[in-house]
Structure 1
Amino acid sequence: MASHKVHAFDEISKHNQKGDCWLIISGKVYDVSPFMDDHPGGDEVLLTSTEKDATDDFEDVGHSDSAREMMNKYYIGEVDSSTLPGKHQSNPPPKAPSTSNQSSGVLVKILQFLVPLLILGLAFALAAIC
């Protein structure tokens, strides 16, 4: 097995092609280049998981125990977690206000449509009573 070398994210992200493909899964770095042609999902699946933490991609598929064991031969080290892109970049505070503004905008449009209908309905009801 390869030594437990620690790799910076910038270094790992450069390995993003069919002949040179590294993945980050659960904090570990794997050189899956030799496996590209044999991967049951095709090489494109692996390539779309480069340049990021591919843990969620890997776990979402539900790999078998034998697939997890196979990973050992592609293991080349650990990722330096301090070099990973900041988690604050994925936080959506700037998007949250726009989402709520969009929701508010939709609510306003619905009310603009419903309020006149309600008033019209009340007017007909009052006319029928009188």
Structure 2
Amino acid sequence: MSAPKTYSWDDLKSSEAKSKDGLLMLIHGKVYAISKFLDEHPGGDEVLFGEAGRDATEAFEDVGHSDEAREILDKYYVGQGPEGSAKGAAPAKSARDAAGTAKESYYTRKE
């Protein structure tokens, strides 16, 4: 198996990367070709087109995707993003987990 392709910002921002047939998205420093997922995405294709060709990490995490959604995403992996494009450390399993932890600690009574 060959090394994964490294995509530049120019690759991601190209008109082809934002087209229905070549839709690319960057999440946690990895590039995904998601054209074949447009019709299946529960949030609709508008969301995907809105994040196409850019770093969609924050949008992806803010929704609180399930482990199953993350496994589906892995099927569309096509390469690495530009050097330095991975945001932050390892992501929380989901935004809901991160929010739940914060909420729990806020409401937990300390004695």
In the TM superposition, what whole-angstrom CA distance separates every residue of 1:3-32 from its partner, at most 9, and x where no partner exists? Answer: 411111111222002222100000000000
**Percent of pairs identical after alignment?**
46
Counterpart contact for 1:18–1:43, Cα < 8 Å: no
TM-score (norm 2): 0.68
Unaligned runs of 5+ in 1: 85-130
For residues 37 and 63 of structure 1, what CA distance do their matches in structure 2 show? Answer: 17
- How many aligned positions are there? 83
Contact 1:2–1:76 (CA under 8 A) maintained in structure 2 = no
1:65 alignment partner, one of 64, 67, 74: 67
Contact 2:27/2:60 (<8 A) preserved: yes
1:4 aligns with 2:7: no
Alignment of 1:80-91 (within 5 A): 80-81=82-83
Residue of structure 2 equivalent to 1:28: 30
Tell me the CA shift for residue 75 of structure 1.
Answer: 0.1
State whether structure 2 residue 39 is matched by structure 1 residue 37.
Answer: yes
- Are the equivalent residues in 1 in contact too, given 2:18–2:52 (CA < 8 A)? yes
1:41–1:6: structure 2 CA closer, same or farther, 3 Å change rule?
same
| Greater alpha carbon shift after TM alignment, 57-66 vs 13-22 | 13-22
User: Any conservation in 2 of the 1:29–1:78 contact (CA below 8 Å)?
Assistant: yes
Partner Cα distance (1:52, 1:59) in 2? 15
- Given the two structures, how large is their TM-score scaled by the length of structure 1? 0.59
d(CA) in 2 for partners of 1:3, 1:76: 10
The one-letter code of the counterpart of 1:67 is: A
Q: RMSD of the TM alignment (CA)?
A: 1.8
**Structure 2 CA distance for partners of 1:41 and 1:3, relative to 1, 3 Å:** farther
